[in-house]
Amino acid sequence: MNMFKGKKILITGGTGSLGKALAKRLLELDADIVRIFSRNENNQITMQSEMDDDRLRYFIGDVRDLPRLVKAMEDVDIVFHAAALKHVPIIEYNPFEAIKTNILGSQNVIDACLHENVETVVCVGTDKAVSPLNTYGATKLLMEKLFVTANNHTDRKRHRTKFVAIRYGNVLGSSGSVVPTLVKQIESGKNITITDPNMTRFNITMNQALNFIIRSLKKGNGGEVFIPKLKAYSLEVLKDAIIEVLEKDVKTEIISIRPGEKYHESLISNEETRNTFEDDEDYVILENKLQGNNKRKKSNLVKQYSSDNVELLTKEELKKILIEEKLLPMK
């Protein structure tokens, strides 16, 4: 059953890397209308030139503006909330701006969805929300809490809206992530800079992220936090894989860890493991009151789900991923 056929869908932050890829996937799944909600008109113009489809609708707006969100959500069935301020160093110097977008803006999304009686809402979270060390992570943790608890305040006689949260790390090759950063350094003839060769990150490609988002929407009944089961990689191995695929001879410079940056990524904290369940593809965190109707098995996690305690990808596996996902400029 195609749950998107004939549906009207809105994506906040729709001109970002994830938003554009998600819009393309939803059009392939026969969505009736995909509304792109973002505040950057230049990015919207660029997206229009790249994706010529009359089912796409573009709304200039900011999630801080509740009336504009309400207008954009008229007759919408499904909302994917991906809008956020996300660059850690910038947010450390501008914390209240992140609060206004990532927390207050997310509450506006919730209120607009309830006002327009949207069917299902998925908010896109981050590993940074787990035991946060920085302002970005703290704001995304509160965003997640808002979406989970929004189900508690929903009168099912008046509203059909289900709120679902998802959580994963940086998408491999996405804008501002490590792969394009290293490629840019290599192409400019500079030394490669990495914070620490033993630092690890969960591996998720854009296709994996899209599949995860869509199956979380299908599985969600409201109130869940879904986390994908993933492998990880070390920065040293990723760096070596990129150099070998590009056939470049470059030097590596080790720089210090950035403010608020974690040595390893965590997607489930120690404390959350007691409320974590699983199926073949994903983990799901459930509040106590939701566990009674749950048919998934209890997770076998005994400590936090972290990138340093899962299987690490080899250099050859990463090279294959980089080539298949077309993440590197090839000759």
Nearest to 227, CA basis, from 160, 173, 296: 296
Contacts 24+ apart (CB under 8 A), 57-62: 57/33, 59/35, 61/37, 62/101, 62/105
**Assigned domain for 17 exists:** yes
Is 78 a residue whose pLDDT tops 80? yes
Is 81 a residue whose pLDDT tops 70? yes
pLDDT in tens, 153-182: 766 677 889 999 999 988 998 877 889 989
Q: Return left, alpha or beta for 134; rule: phi > 0 is left, psi -120 to 50 is alpha, else beta.
A: beta
**Assigned domain for 266 exists:** no
Provide the pLDDT for residue 165.
97
Is 187 a residue whose pLDDT tops 90? no
**Assigned domain for 264 exists:** no
Nearest to 109, CA basis, from 11, 201, 6: 11
Is 105 a residue whose pLDDT tops 90? yes
Q: What share of the chain has pLDDT > 70, as a percent?
A: 97
Provide the pLDDT for residue 87.
85
pLDDT in tens, 113-144: 999 999 999 999 999 999 998 999 999 999 99
Q: Which two tokens stand for residue 220?
A: 């969600």
Q: Return left, alpha or beta for 155; rule: phi > 0 is left, psi -120 to 50 is alpha, else beta.
A: beta
Q: Per 3-state DSSP, what percentage of the chain is helix, strand, and coil (rounded to 5)?
A: 40, 20, 40
Q: Could you tell me whether strands 282-285 and 56-60 are parallel, antiparallel, or unpaired per DSSP bridges?
A: unpaired
Query: What is the CB-side half-sphere exposure of residue 113 using CA atoms within 13 A?
Result: 32
Residues 6+ positions from 78 with CB-CB distance below 8 Å = 4, 7, 8, 9, 10, 118, 119, 120, 121, 122, 217
**Assigned domain for 63 exists:** yes
Alpha-carbon distances, residue 140 vs 89, 210, 305 (angstroms): 15, 20, 18
Q: How confident is the model at residue 191 (pLDDT cuts 50, 70, 90)?
A: confident
Q: How confident is the model at residue 194 (pLDDT cuts 50, 70, 90)?
A: confident
Provide the pLDDT for residue 256.
78
What is the rounded distance in angstroms from the CA atom of residue 271 to the CA atom of residue 69?
35
Nearest to 79, CA basis, from 158, 155, 162: 162
**Assigned domain for 314 exists:** no
What is the rounded distance in angstroms from the CA atom of residue 230 to the CA atom of residue 204?
7
Rounded mean pLDDT, 87-106 = 94
Of these residues, 20, 86, 128, 162, which one is catalytic? 128
Range of lowest pLDDT (147-156, 165-174, 235-244): 147-156
Provide the pLDDT for residue 154.
62
Place of tokens 């994996």: 208
What is the rounded distance in angstroms from the CA atom of residue 152 to the CA atom of residue 306?
30
Rounded mean pLDDT, 221-242 = 94
Provide the pLDDT for residue 331.
63
Q: Count up the domains in the chain and report the number.
A: 1
What is the rounded distance in angstroms from the CA atom of residue 22 to the CA atom of residue 16?
10
**Assigned domain for 298 exists:** no
Work out the mean pLDDT of the chain and round it to a whole number.
92
The CATH number given to whatever domain includes residue 58 is 3.40.50.720
Provide the pLDDT for residue 188.
86
**Assigned domain for 43 exists:** yes
18 versus 253: the higher-pLDDT residue is: 18
| Helix/strand/coil (H/E/C) assignment for every residue in 42-83 | HHHHHHHHHCCCCCEEEEECCCCCHHHHHHHCCCCCEEEECC
**Assigned domain for 116 exists:** yes
Q: What share of the chain has pLDDT > 90, as a percent?
A: 75
Provide the pLDDT for residue 293.
74
Nearest to 111, CA basis, from 138, 59, 72: 72
**What's the burial of 229, exposed, middle or buried (CB within 10 Å: 0-12/13-18/19+)?**
middle
Host domain of residue 94: 8-167
Provide the pLDDT for residue 239.
92
pLDDT in tens, 18-70: 999 999 999 999 999 999 999 999 999 999 999 989 999 999 999 999 999 99
Specify whether 218 is catalytic: no
